[in-house]
Chains A and B, each alone.
Chain A
Amino acid sequence: MIRKIANHQLYLLILSYFKEMIREPGILFWGIAFPILMSLGLGVAFTRKSDVVRKVAVINQPGLEASQPHANLKIIDFLDKHAVRDTVPGNENLTYRINLPDDKMGNTILLFQQTGWNEAMVLLKRGNLNVVMEEKNGKISYHFDPLNPDAQLTYLRLSKLFGNENPEIIANNDHVEPLTLSGTRYIDFLVPGLIAMGVMMSCMWGLSYGIIEKRSKKLLRRMVATPMKKSYFLIALITVRVGMNFIESGLLLLFSWIVFGITIQGNLPSLILLFIAGNIAFAGIAVFISSHTSSTEVGNGFINAIVMPMMVLSGVFFSYHNFPDWSITFIQKLPLTILADGIRSIIIEGAGYKEVTIAFIILITTGVVFFIAGLKIFKWH
């Protein structure tokens, strides 16, 4: 019996592909270490707030030099009263600093610099400045790009500050309760996205590229010139790939549980089923796009054409709800979006079978349709 299995075509193919894969150190790095490092990097970058520095330019009155400090009476008076005067070596302009401490949302430092209009515009273009302030006839006006959320926030803080006689109170007088419980942080959003992306990348690059490479090396042709069952060739490749994806995603989840305390809020079996459906979807697409070409360059192009748009649109790193409304219905139909949203809903929102049934059906159907179409046109020689 054991002998029979050990000599079985499918077993030998799976074993060979598995060895081929684990003997490639690059696969272990890009498949396992890279997603973990990415989650660590992004997770840390977006969870620990450092001091935010917001830079403001104060415009001199027209016709007056920077050395005539009291041109902007109201603003400068305020700064003289409440801010610390900074001297920057080599810079003759007046600079001030206001520290707004906040143990919940992170400290903010406002840096004021007195400049001319032209100089301010240059700094603004370089992204070195958030807001420009100017005083005309005793009224303060603010210049900034209203589409830039950073600039908007700076403006809001400034206008509150300059409208208040006692600025120290402002920082703490609102009652802010930061949401740091599991499921609402950026890392909670990110990890399910990384899992979905991992499945896509591994299937598209691992499977498609693997098939195309075997065709271009004439290995495929050599293999089908034996009594090997053609279906076993693909089944073995897919099995090894999906197995690897389980290991990769399992390790990523384990890592994010240990480091960030992420737990699966929803139903684990439904997550596994959805994960398998995602694998089937992308394996099907991978077989389809690698069904004909024997050029790895062309294959590269195909794979990128599929992978890149979904990487950008499907909300792996940031929510796709920031895209224009008309595009969202389209984005939601992409397989990566369906998979990422599904995994997210189970891990973060605690969803179960019922919530992901539709996603499951769509992914399986996508995979099967592409797989069958790919087989129809598959070039074995």
Chain B
Amino acid sequence: MNSFPVIDVRDVYKSFKSVDAVKGIDMHVDRGQFVAVLGPNGAGKTTLVEMIEGIRKPDKGEIQIMGKKWKGNEDELHQIIGLSLQETKFIDKLNVRETLRLFAGFFGLGGERVEEIIQIVGLEDKIKSWVVNLSGGQRQKLALGIALLNKPKILLLDEPTTGLDPAARQEVWTILRKLRDKSETSLILTTHYMEEAERLCDFIIIIDKGKILKQGTLEQLLNGDGSKRKVLEFTLDNPGSSTEKLLNDSRFRIKWEGENEKGIVEFASWEEDIPVFMSFLKKSELRLKNLEFRKKTLDDLFISLTGRHLND
């Protein structure tokens, strides 16, 4: 077993003309681990991943891949990394097979691997379609196929499902889940969809404004403040002066979304906590308009950390 992490990022900074995109990030990825970098648009996810990909140089800090720095090891690292950039466009008038064939050639691979990949990403019906005629989902599958050509030890995917419809997103997830079950590939995936991070990844790093807000497994993140894993959302029929009292009650710690006139409460137990909440409402003569029970999500966590939604 390797003693060093597959990817090791230490105190990395990167600024552009007017923005500090990444401001001191540490992270590491072990063999076979699937890591999500979750954050809203403009959080610095792409910049971080591009530094790991060797496309950008950090202003400060160090990145090692399999114990090696990019400088002087480009050829070796390119052999073991597979990646898909955010919105790459391939040659419009090459078909799917020709495009895969070209990229396979870059890795010294032949036609057999191309046929395997076509199966893996499920583009059998499209092998002769020009890239320009593919749908968004098909293009993304092609990009993923290209990333998988060299059976990479490390897979870096920058927003692989952004802009796809739910069905196409599911298909991409299925491909990645199979990969997780069958290989020892390590993955870093950036996304602003919490479901993607929750369903695919073992470890989640939430970043915002170039910094890590929180990281851990899904369990660790959601259990962060005690064991309150249940969420209740409600709106009121007669919000008024009593609402103030409700919001100020320290037992509930209600988050109030003014624009939606919606309250959000986190509970540890439905059975014990709901009766207390209900009797408080009754006593204060507040009437419920709507009530929803659900599990806590990463978005709830993100809101509690930043006051904003992930998709804002």
Contacts and interface: CB of A to CB of B under 8 A. Distances in A.
Given A3-B110, A227-B75, A227-B107, A16 B53 contact: no
Interface in B143-177: 146, 150
A7 B109 contact: yes
A218 B88 contact: yes
A8 B83 CA distance: 22
A225 B79 contact: no
B78 A226 contact: yes
Interface string B128-148: 001000000000000000100
A221 B75 CA distance: 15
A226 B103 CA distance: 8
B166 to A, nearest CB: 26
Contact of B94 (A8, A11, A19, A227): A19
A333 interface: no
A381 B56 contact: yes
B205 to A, nearest CB: 22
Contacts of B106: 9, 12, 223, 226-228
A7 B107 CA distance: 9
A225 B54 contact: yes
Contacts of A226: 78, 103, 106-107, 150
A24 B93 contact: yes
B83 A225 contact: yes
Contact of B90 (A12, A13, A219, A225): A219
Nearest to B90: A219
A8 B79 CA distance: 16
B85 to A, nearest CB: 5
Nearest to B146: A222
A218 B78 contact: no
B61 interface: no
Interface in B74-93: 75, 78-79, 81, 83, 85, 87-93
A160 interface: no
A177 interface: no
Most buried by B among A3, A19, A225: A225
B91 A225 contact: no
B42 interface: no
Query: Which of the four size classes fits the interface of chain A?
Result: 20 to 34
Contacts of B81: 225
Nearest to A8: B105
A143 interface: no
Per DSSP, chain B at the interface is loop
Contacts of A9: 105-106
Given A8-B105, A24-B93, A227-B78, A219 B88 contact: yes
Contacts, number: 70
Contacts of B107: 226-227
A12 B75 contact: no
B55 A225 contact: yes
A16 B102 contact: yes
Interface in A160-215: none
Interface string A221-240: 11101111000000000000
A16 B98 contact: yes
B89 A219 contact: yes
A7 B98 contact: no
A24 B92 CA distance: 10
B94 A20 contact: yes
B112 to A, nearest CB: 11
A23 interface: yes
A218 B103 contact: no
Interface string B85-124: 1011111111000100111111111100000000000000
A217 interface: yes
Contacts of B103: 226
A226 B85 CA distance: 13
A12 B83 contact: no
B110 A7 contact: yes
Interface in A271-319: none
B93 A23 contact: yes
Contacts of A221: 55, 85, 88
A162 B224 CA distance: 110
Contacts of B102: 12-13, 16
Given A7-B109, A218-B89, A381-B56, A225 B78 contact: yes
Contacts of A222: 83, 85, 88, 90, 146
Contacts of B101: 12
Contacts of B109: 7
A218 B108 contact: no
Nearest to B54: A225
Contacts of A227: 75, 78-79, 106-108
Contacts of A381: 55-56
Contact of B87 (A8, A16, A19, A218): A218
Which 7 residue pairs are nearest across A and B when measured between Cβ atoms? A12-B105, A226-B106, A23-B93, A217-B89, A228-B106, A227-B78, A222-B88
25 contacts: A3-B110, A7-B104, A7-B108, A7-B110, A9-B105, A11-B105, A12-B101, A12-B102, A13-B102, A16-B102, A24-B93, A217-B88, A217-B89, A221-B55, A221-B88, A223-B106, A225-B55, A225-B81, A225-B83, A225-B85, A226-B106, A227-B78, A227-B108, A381-B55, A381-B56
Interface of B: 53-56, 75, 78-79, 81, 83, 85, 87-94, 98, 101-110, 130, 146, 150
Given A19-B93, A219-B91, A222-B83, 6 more contacts: A12-B106, A16-B94, A217-B88, A222-B90, A225-B78, A227-B78
